């Protein structure tokens, strides 16, 4: 057996090692990519996972990956010490800043913790044709990860309306996991 240099001598890379943007790396092209390129990556990966593992497994993997991203986003890019309203305002600002989408809170039930929120101009699906199924499983995980991290308890977000089901926004229902 050859010596595993990677494991023996180096720290295992983390998410932050891959996504840290350094302007020296793309001096001419800069830090933005067209939405089409993002979707090409997302939907080719979606097709490949579905082909190899089936649709249920693809959805599960997208949700878990999105959750990972949401936890990262919350920990690195949001102020978790803020009260709920300013926290939501800062989350809205960040999502717009990164051109992920335009967040609106439709309702928050203090008794149950249930939140209904919409994302318009969503990077993943705005403008898609009617496909008959919600497609923003990555976003479900992403929102779950952000809310779970901020609330300090497990939250689950499910997409109930989507461009791909004929709506003009994506609508998510998020609630604490019982």
Q: Using CB under 5 A as the criterion, which residues of the chain lie in contact with Zn ion when the complex forms?
A: 125, 136, 162, 170
Between the alpha carbon of residue 6 and those of residues 9, 14, 170, the distances in Å are: 6, 13, 42
**Closest to 82 in 3D by CA, of 74, 66, 119:** 74
The string of DSSP codes covering 90-115 is HHHHHHHHTTS-EEEEEEE-TTT--E
| 118 versus 148: smaller Cβ distance to Zn ion | 118
Q: How far is the CB of 161 from Zn ion (least distance, A)?
A: 8
Q: Which residues contact 22 (CB under 8 A, 6 or more apart)?
A: none
| 69 versus 162: smaller Cβ distance to Zn ion | 162
Strand segments (E) across the chain: 102-108, 115-120, 155-161, 170-176
Q: Which residues contact 36 (CB under 8 A, 6 or more apart)?
A: none
SS3 170: strand
Q: How far is the CB of 134 from Zn ion (least distance, A)?
A: 6
State which residue has the least CB distance to Zn ion.
Answer: 162
Q: How far is the CB of 147 from Zn ion (least distance, A)?
A: 17
| 82 versus 173: smaller Cβ distance to Zn ion | 173
| 88 versus 135: smaller Cβ distance to Zn ion | 135
Q: How far is the CB of 71 from Zn ion (least distance, A)?
A: 21
Q: How far is the CB of 136 from Zn ion (least distance, A)?
A: 3
| 84 versus 131: smaller Cβ distance to Zn ion | 131
């Amino acid at each position: 057996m050859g010596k595993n240099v990677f494991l023996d001598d180096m720290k295992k890379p983390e998410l932050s090692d891959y996504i840290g943007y350094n302007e020296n790396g793309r001096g001419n092209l800069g830090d933005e990519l067209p939405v089409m390129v993002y979707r090409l990556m997302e939907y080719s990966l979606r097709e490949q996972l579905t082909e190899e593992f089936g649709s249920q497994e693809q959805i599960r993997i997208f949700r878990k990956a999105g959750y990972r991203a949401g936890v990262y986003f919350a920990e690195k890019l949001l102020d978790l010490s803020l009260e709920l309203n300013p926290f939501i305002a800062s989350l809205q600002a960040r999502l717009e800043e990164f051109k992920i989408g335009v967040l609106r809170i439709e309702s928050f039930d203090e008794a149950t913790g249930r939140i209904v929120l919409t994302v318009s101009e969503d990077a993943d699906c705005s403008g898609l044709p009617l496909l008959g199924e919600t497609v923003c499983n990555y976003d479900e995980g992403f929102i779950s990860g952000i809310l779970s991290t901020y609330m300090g308890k497990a939250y689950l977000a499910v997409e109930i309306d989507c461009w791909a089901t004929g709506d003009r926004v994506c609508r998510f229902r998020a609630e604490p996991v019982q």
